[in-house]
Amino acid sequence: MSPRSATALPRLESAGLDGWMVRLFDTIDEANLPWITALLQRCESAFGTALVDLVPSYTTLLVVFDPVQLSPFEAQQTITTLLTGLTPEGGTSTSQIHELPTYYHASVGPDLERVAEHTGLSVADVIAYHSQKTYRVFALGFAPGFAFMGLTDPRLECPRLDTPRKKVPVGSVAIAARQTAAYPTATPGGWNLLGRTSARLFDREREGFSLLNVGDQVRFAPVSRDAFERDGGDTTPMEAAQ
């Protein structure tokens, strides 16, 4: 294998007695995902019943195994073998395409004006640049169904809030650095809120619970307040972060 980034990659990092973190890249890039997917699929086939979990991220794949069936050394050797000859074409995509209806407005996206000021753009441009791009889901984490997506248009790059909010409403659409996400449940959060989606991102009645999965493609489709409310969206306003 020879991923596009640094010469010291890939490398294996111990994640305890039952896990190895495989670092394929050092920088976030949309082109990383096919490599990570290909290794994930190889691990699924090679580890068999000894495989406990696979957790892909922007640059890594965490491989969790059963230490009763495999020693850490045996698992390491298996992964090293799987990396030999790895190609991005080795991964078969099963991703889905999602369009999330999104109501962009300062009442539910209280950081819209702050992001516009920080980036030197108009509010209309912030909405346009965010909604015109198709994003890839790189990882799930932080909260059930929370999908880390990217990469946003570089003109929208904006840091997290200095002080996270104690509670971010369900469906809030947000950005931080060059990532974007929609909050599947009401949780604390420090990302910049641009609007809100009516899509049900986390559902205990749904197989797998999460609407979005690693590798999926996502677009945020602007809708009017009326359309948002008809679709069950909550327009309860929020205050801007201080």
Residue 7: predicted pLDDT: 45
The pLDDT tens digits of the residues spanning 83-140 come to: 998 988 655 556 799 999 999 999 999 999 999 999 999 999 999 999 999 999 998 8
Q: With 50 as the cut, is the pLDDT of residue 49 above it?
A: yes
Measured distance CA(162)–CA(157) in Å, rounded? 15
Residue 28: predicted pLDDT: 85
* All domains of the chain in start order, with CATH: 11-90 (3.30.1360.40), 97-230 (2.40.100.10)
Residue 55: predicted pLDDT: 87
* Residue pair 141/135 in contact by the 8 Å Cβ criterion: no
Name every residue whose Cβ is closer than 8 Å to that of residue 172 and which is 6 or more positions away in sequence: 108, 109, 182, 183, 189, 193, 195, 196
Measured in whole angstroms, how far is the alpha carbon of residue 150 from the centre of its chain? 7
Measured distance CA(90)–CA(82) in Å, rounded? 11
- Angle, CA 103 vertex, CA 100 and CA 108 arms, to 5°: 125
Q: Tell me the mean pLDDT in the region 28-39.
A: 88
Average pLDDT value for the chain: 91
Q: With 80 as the cut, is the pLDDT of residue 3 above it?
A: no
- Angle, CA 34 vertex, CA 62 and CA 42 arms, to 5°: 55
Phi, psi dihedral angles at 130 (to 5 degrees)? -75, -40
* Packed helices 123-131 and 112-119: angle between N→C axes, nearest 10 degrees: 90
What does the DSSP assignment read for 172-214? EEEEEBTEEEE-SS-EEE-SEEEEEE-S--B-TTSTTSBS--T
Residue 145: predicted pLDDT: 87
* Residue pair 30/178 in contact by the 8 Å Cβ criterion: no
- Placement of tokens 């209280």 in the chain: 110
